[in-house]
Amino acid sequence: MSYKRKLDNGTSSKDGKKEKRWHVDINSSLLNATNKTLQQEAWKTRTSCREGDVELDCKPFPHCVINQFLQPEDFVSSLEKELLQLNFHTKSNDLYKFAQSDDLKNRTEPCITELRSVLFGQFRSWLSDLLDVELEPTVDISCAKYEHTDVLLCHDDELEGRRVAFILYLVPPWELSDGGTLDLFCTDEQGQPCSIVKSLVPSRNKLVFFEVSPVSFHQVSEILSSEKFRMSVSGWFHGPSLPRPPKYVEAPAPLKKYISSDDKILHKWISQEYMDENTQVQIQTTFQESSEICLKNFLQKERIQEVRDALQSAEIQWVTKGPANKSHSDACHRTGHTHTHRDHSIVGDNRPRDATQAPPAAQMSVDTSAAILSTLRDLKEDSRRIKEDNLQLRRDMQLVYQAITARPSASLQGIQSCCASPFTSAIVTSATASTTDGTSSSSAICLGCRADGASEESESAAGPDFPCLLPTCTHS
C-alpha cells in the first residue's frame, strides 16, 4: 500500500509553536483504476465486490466498508487527540443517547481541517464516480462519542437532500462483545424494518458508508463495555434524493374499553404518599410547568418484588411486536392473557429464564395493571385540561381588563368578542356593570384580579380596591 508521506515542515501558530502540516491520502485500493471499475459495476448491478481493503455489499441495502481509510496512521492518532479536545453535548431522547460535538465545518485545527479537505475533495470525487451522481461540495460532519449504555435505535437517516451517510471510526481495539455495532436491517413487503441481517463491528480507521434510501434502516447497538468509548466522525454527503414510495399507513389500533380506577386496588399497590390529595396537586402543578414528571418509589416495596417475580416466571413468554423503527416492544403472555409490554429501548434483559423457578405466590392481575394505567391516564388528562383552562382564562382576563380600562364605555358585546374562555360571559357581565355611584366599571374588579389580569406595566395603575364582582375571584 502506498500513500503520500507526511511533510516535516510546518507553519507557525499564533503562539509561536510550529504546527505540523499534513498531506493525507485515502486508501490506495480506492485509487486503483481496475478496482474502481469493478466497484462501479458492482454498485450499478447491486452485487458484492471485495478488492483490497474495500468491501462493497448491496444486501440488505447498498453499503461499503473501507479498512485503513486514511493514511498515514499517525495522522489518525493526531486527529483523535484534536477531536477529544472538543466540547461534546449530551443528546438523549427515546431514539438515542450519546454525546455529540458541534458541526466541524468551521473548526480550524490542522487535522480536522485536513480531514474535511480529504472528505470534501478526493473522497467525494471518488464517491460521485461510484454512484454516478453529482454530490454537493459541502458535507454535514460532526463527532460522536458513545459510552456505556449509549445507543441509537433503528431509523433510516432519510431527509431531503441526504444521499450518502458515512461513519469513520476512531476506537481502541474493539470486540463484538463491547456492543456499539452498526446493525443493518432487512425490510418487509411494506418497506418496514424486520430483523438485523448484518452487524458491522467498529475498528480503528474504518470508514463505512451507505446509500440513504427508504429502506436504509440501521442502528447503533447499545455500548456494553464500561471501560472504553466508541468515538466516530460521521455525517452525510448531499445530492439528489432517491424516489420515496408512498408512506405505509398502518391500520388504526382498535379502541380498548375504558376501565375506571379502583381506589381499593390502588391503595394496595401505589405508595401511600402518592395517594395523598396534596401530593397529587403538587404532581399536577409540576407536570403543568415542565410537561414531565418522575415519581420515585411509585409502587410499594413488597409489590415491586411481586412484579419482578411475575415477569421472570418460567410461564411467561415474550413475543416481539411492531417494526423495529416504531412501536417496537415485547408483549408478555401468560395463559392466553397479555399482562404487560416492555420497550426494547428501556429493557434489555435477555437473560435465560430458570425453568425450575416456581411461579410467584401472587401475580399482578390484568385488572390491577389496567387500574394503575387508568389512574395515570386520568392524571395526565386532568393536568392537560387544567393547564389549558388556566392559560385561556388568564389571557381572557388580560383582554377584559385592557378593554375596560382603555374604553370604559365599551359595549358588552364588543368586549366579549375578544375572549374565548367559557368563563368569559360571567366575567365580562360583572366587569362591565357600572357601580351605583357612576365610577368606572373597572373599579368593580378587585386589586388582586386586576393585577392578575393586567400586564406588568399596568399593575401600578390598578387604583383603589373595591369589592370584586368577578366569579373567579380568590382574593375576597
CATH superfamily for domain 10-238: q2cbj1_9rhob like domain (2.60.120.620)
Q: Give the CA count within 13 Å in the CB-facing half-sphere of 120.
A: 13
CA pair distance 344, 95, nearest whole angstrom: 11
Provide the pLDDT for residue 182. Answer: 97
What's the confidence (pLDDT) of residue 200? Answer: 97
% of the chain residues with pLDDT over 90: 41
For residue range 139-185, list pLDDT tens digits in order: 889 999 999 999 999 988 877 789 999 999 999 999 999 999 999 99
All CATH 2.60.120.620 domain ranges in the chain, comma separated: 10-238
Residue 119 has pLDDT above 80, yes or no: yes
Backbone phi, then psi, for 99, in 5-degree steps? Answer: -115, 140
**What are the beta bridge partners of residue 317?**
333
Percent of residues, the chain, with pLDDT higher than 70: 65
275 pLDDT above the threshold of 60: yes
Residue 327 identity? S
Q: 343-381: per-residue pLDDT in tens?
A: 433 333 333 333 333 334 344 444 555 555 566 666 666
Confidence at residue 466, expressed as pLDDT on a 0 to 100 scale: 42
What is the reported pLDDT for 2? 36
Alpha carbon distances (Å) from 255 to 258, 259, 365: 9, 12, 21
pLDDT of residue 470: 52
Greater model confidence, 113 or 246: 113
| Claim: this prediction has a pTM higher than 0.85 | no
Q: Are 293 and 398 in contact (CB under 8 A)?
A: no
- Assess contact for 163 and 237: CB atoms under 8 A: yes
